[in-house]
Structure 1
Amino acid sequence: MHQVERAIFDLRRGLPIVLNDGPAQVLVQPVEGIDDSTLERLLDKAGQAPALVVSRHRLALLGGSVDAEAARLPLSDTMPLDVRALNALAFGDDPQRDRRFGAPQPAGLADRAALALMRRALLIPAAITARVSDAARPRIRQLIEEGTLLSVAADKAVGCFEASAGLLKRVSEAQVPLAEAQDSRFILFREPDGLREHVAVVIGDIDAWRDAVPLRLHSACLTGDLFGSLRCDCGEQLRNAVADIAEMGGGVLLYLAQEGRGIGLANKLRAYALQDTGLDTVDADKTLGFGDDERHYRAAVDMLAALGIERVQLLTNNPLKLQALRDGGIEVADRQALYGRLTDHNLRYLSAKSKRAGHWLDDVLDGHSSGRA
């Protein structure tokens, strides 16, 4: 796990890493942030022709398909390869204009591991991969030994999301009175790679809680929660959830570091720009190579275990949250809807969540919200 964590930080810094798949070595470079000189050095180190690894969502926009979650696109050696072309292929808003790749191939283990690391690092899910030739192996080995290149087992990297399960650390806590719930305690948890920190907001007297503890899983939304963005209803849902939990005698709100349905703030803003061209929230994420919802709730299950909570009343409109808790061994005794206001600014967003992601929003979209306005 330690090497995988280091790999995530190297990739975020724009550095290449080596993934080992049995005897094969594969150089991996994130597409995001790459420049022409970095690309040239990468290809020189590997000694073999490169490929672009993308998700099946991005591949579909490029006009291809594979029976796999990711694809390897051999890059053409008949045309000069530059960063502009790579960016157009990997996350450009007009992916059909540049066809400098061969027939799509199902991604191998190292390729899938590369994409998993990109997602974990909150980067665009696209990577340049190049197999290390026999002639280049001595030089690569030297760079690894001197610490210039990090070497990671591909089978460890491909499971980088699952590897942190059960390793969440309870770091610090303090009383933080809130406008909607003055008796509130914040408990901070940190994931082992140090990238994400989650907060459990414990409301009211634990001894007076209901048998089924009122619970809200709230994914962080900087634009909505802090700045009051009109593009979503997240800020209102957050404050309404705290008030509702307090009115029910107390419970827990888990504030999860999963900005933009798990794609991170940088990619969320990219998706917003795509939405301004006419795409809905789901299609914008897919244009960038992401799935409908990239969130994971293992951290939430671990936080509930640390708090001794096994049975909950869940405040949500999202069926995936309910199923994730049940899959994690948490009994969901009941569900309560939670709404913000429907406005001209967030109507398209909420409609897409309902129609494309199956969220239970019929009441609010029909103009008959039973929750707070």
Structure 2
Amino acid sequence: MSFSPDLSETLARARADLRMGVPVILGELLVLSAETLTERRLADVMALDGETVLAITARRAQTLKAHAYDGELSRIVLPADVTVKWVHGVANPADDLAVPMKGPLVAARGGSATAHATAIALVKSARLLPAIVTAPLEAAHAFAQTHGLTYIDAAAAARYLEENSPLHSVIHARLPIEVSEAGRLHIFRPEDGGEEHYAIEIGRPDRSAPVLCRLHSACFTGDVMGSLKCDCGPQLHAALAQMGAEGHGVLLYLNQEGRGIGLANKMRAYSLQDQGFDTVEANHRLGFEDDERDFRLGADILKTMGFSQVRLLTNNPRKVDMMNLCDVSVAERVPLAVGENRHNTAYLATKAAKSGHLL
């Protein structure tokens, strides 16, 4: 008999700790989120032995003209007189234009940065800025026990975070909606404690034929508030309307807000766009890739529901490629060109030019 949490549960606990500013132990590394760092915890970390660094992604390092000796990330050595304001200034691009010179930034070289990369993946999954303050530890497991901190095996966590968490059907029930009274809502819950995802089934689609399908990423601003900065709301409603008109279809509503970076980071990107950066440049300045979404989730849900072929409503070739790679055959790509207005013309042009969307 064991009541101890498994790796998935431990990582869920670690995400909550990091969001609250509590450090976690990853292998032999003490890890704190740069975003939620406090002066008290920073002082405690600086009092430890060993080189304390602020690890940022190569995307953020490129913006700051810092060396990324570790390839996908850069370990910036913290100066002896470091403050939380300094850490936040390096991690968060909000004041980049007002304070363009952050340095001198001294990047560490040598030694392994594998655990640092895993820690950045962990804070990304917690929807935090991809920047961490770290310090090496001796007897890390004992340190975690002494201070009541979450301890995670670094190698096991690296493997786990590369995979998509298994999804399980929770419940489904009839849901008459505006476009069709023959609606049914399915709820899927991942094992890793992450956000639930939804499938809206219209009618009774034939499982042996390609189903009209839309993989729609949650967009609070567009879907709920009617934002004019994107085309998400019009795409959602147009896809449902087409399914209603045809009498069948499946719309997957995946909780991957802001191309997988979360609503808070999405608003940070919007703020950067107001400073003159396009959507891709804003993501890069924050330290993210163009698109952090995992479309494997959609394939998993479709296969769980018994679908192996789709007519995919999308302008994004990446979705088509991922469905085919995940054994969901795309019989047809159905264009969904709606929602352009004077506020999002440049945004749509960037999606076409830099992200390959077929508009």
> Fold-level match, TM-score > 0.5?
yes
Structure 1 contact 186–201 (Cα < 8 Å) conserved: yes
| Alignment deviations for residues 219-238 of structure 1 (CA, whole Å, 9 cap, x no partner) | 00000000101111111100
Q: Confirm whether residue 102 of structure 1 aligns to residue 106 of structure 2.
A: yes
1-structure distance, mates of 2:10, 2:101: 38
Displacement of 1:91 = 1.4
Conserved 8 A contact 2:205-2:211: no
1:277 match: 275
Residues of 1 paired with 2:154 and 2:141: CA distance? 17
Q: Which residue of 1 aligns with 2:16?
A: 9
AA at the equivalent of 1:53: A
Runs (4+) off by over 6 Å: none
**1:298 and 2:263 are equivalent in the alignment:** no
- Secondary structure of the residue aligned to 1:241 is helix
Equivalent residue for 1:364?
Answer: none
Counterpart of 2:130 in structure 1 is 125
What is the aligned residue count? 347
**Mapping for residues 250-269 of structure 1, pairs under 5 Å:** 250-269=248-267
Q: Is the 8 A contact 1:314 1:335 kept in 2?
A: yes
Could you tell me which runs of 5 or more consecutive residues in structure 2 were left unpaired when the two chains were aligned. Answer: 1-6
Equivalent residue letter for 2:113:
G
Stretch deviating more after TM superposition (333-342 or 261-270) = 333-342
Partner residue in 2 for 1:369: none
1 CA distance for matches of 2:348 and 2:255?
21
Conserved 8 A contact 1:120-1:160: no
TM-score normalised by L of structure 2: 0.92
Q: Deviations over 1:165-207 (max 9, x none)?
A: 4x21111222111112221100010111222110011111234
Cα distance per residue 1:262-314 (max 9 Å; x no partner): 00000001111111111111111111100000000122121111101111110
Alignment partner, residue 205 of structure 1 = 204
Post-superposition offset of 1:18: 0.7
2:45–2:52 CA contact under 8 A, matched in 1: no
Tell me how far 1:143 sits from its aligned partner. Answer: 4.5
Compared with structure 1, are the counterparts of its residues 147 and 213 closer, same or farther at alpha carbon in structure 2 (3 Å cutoff)?
Answer: farther
Aligned to 2:62: 60
User: Which residues in structure 2 correspond to 1:122-161 (within 5 Å)?
Assistant: 122-132=127-137, 134=138, 137=139, 141-146=141-146, 148-161=148-161
Unaligned ranges ≥5, structure 1: 362-373
Is contact 2:279-2:347 (8 Å) kept? yes
Specify which of 28, 33, 37 is matched with residue 34 of structure 1.
37
| Distance in structure 2 (CA, Å) of the matches to 1:173 and 1:295 | 25
**TM-score between both structures, scaled by the size of structure 1:** 0.88
**Mapped contact 1:76–1:101 kept (Cα < 8 A):** no
Which amino acid letter does the alignment assign opposite residue 148 of structure 1?
A: G
Residue among 201, 222, 242 paired with 2:240? 242
- Is residue 75–residue 100 contact of structure 1 (8 Å, CA) maintained in 2? no
Q: Distance in 1 between matches of 2:44 and 2:50?
A: 12
Q: 1:346 to 1:38 in 2, by over 3 A?
A: same
Cα distance change, pair 114–313 in 1 and its aligned pair in 2 (3 A) = same
What is the deviation of 1:316? 0.2
**Which one of the candidate residues 324, 327, 330 is aligned to 1:326?**
324
Structure 2 match to 1:191: 190
Q: Give the direction of change, closer, same or farther, for the CA distance of 1:234–1:356 in structure 2 (3 Å limit).
A: same
